[in-house]
């Protein structure tokens, strides 16, 4: 199965545009690790929005045919690999510890896998693709709204990556056990969603039907 070159190119463009918008093309007046931290937080938030909204919504609304499960998994793998190249260089210019960077990586990779499972569910049943795309936007927006309104922090962190990112990028030292629980949560969501997608009858819908042999 060939790599999705369109997704690869658009993901790189989104990461570049996000960096320019959040961090800027020039250096800050005092180029210290603390000076880069606010821009890095905004950059990660834009990356997260691309992962949990733009990519799944585009896949769920622009194509109508069914997908096999492994094609959605390939999409998620491409996004997760590109995420590593966009995330880890921030360790050189931010005050976050290596453990905190790892927790952020676990969080965003988990949400990438969860979004991939959402794409798999929608592509196996195209009639519900629009509803799943709407749910992706609504859930992410609800988590951000709950966080801004000082709602339950656990609920805000469970609904999308934005509130969880705000928690993980506020402190600089190593993550505590609650931080790791927040980072691990999307992996639970991804596992449940992938298991449900694997049970769908349409998971091999692109396969050719067996030919009928007529006896002479």
* Per-domain residue ranges of the chain: 5-25+40-200
Distance (Å, whole) CA 114 – CA 190: 4
Nearest to 114 by CA among 202, 195, 9, 2: 195
Check whether 95 has a pLDDT greater than 90. no
Does residue 107 contact residue 46 with C-beta atoms inside 8 Å? no
Q: What mean pLDDT comes out for the span 160-189?
A: 92
Angle at 11 between CA 123 and CA 22, to 5 degrees: 130
For the segment 25-38, what is each residue's pLDDT rounded down to a tens digit? 665 555 665 677 88
Q: Is 160 exposed, middle or buried (0-12, 13-18, 19+ CB in 10 A)?
A: buried
Task: Read off the pTM.
Answer: 0.85
Q: What is the pLDDT of residue 214?
A: 42
Q: What is the pLDDT of residue 68?
A: 78
């Amino acid at each position: 199965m060939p790599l999705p070159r369109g997704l690869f190119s658009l993901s790189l463009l989104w990461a570049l545009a996000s960096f320019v918008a959040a961090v800027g093309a020039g250096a800050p007046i005092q180029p210290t690790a603390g000076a880069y931290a606010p821009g890095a937080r905004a950059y990660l938030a834009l990356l997260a929005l691309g992962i949990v909204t733009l990519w799944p919504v585009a896949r769920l609304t622009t194509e109508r045919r069914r997908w096999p499960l492994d094609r959605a998994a390939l999409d998620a793998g491409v996004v997760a690999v590109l995420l590593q190249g966009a995330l880890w260089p921030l360790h050189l210019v931010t005050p976050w510890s290596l453990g905190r960077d790892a927790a952020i990586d676990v969080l965003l990779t988990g949400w990438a896998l969860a979004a991939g499972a959402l794409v798999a569910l929608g592509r196996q049943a195209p009639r519900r693709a629009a509803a799943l795309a709407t749910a992706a936007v609504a859930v992410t927006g609800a988590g951000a709204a709950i966080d801004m309104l000082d709602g339950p922090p656990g609920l805000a962190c469970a609904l999308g990556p934005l509130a969880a990112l705000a928690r993980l990028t506020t402190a600089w030292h190593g993550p505590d056990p609650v931080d790791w629980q927040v980072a691990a949560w999307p992996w639970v969501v991804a596992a449940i969603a992938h298991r449900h997608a694997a049970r769908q009858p349409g998971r091999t819908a692109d396969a050719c039907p067996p030919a009928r042999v007529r006896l002479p």
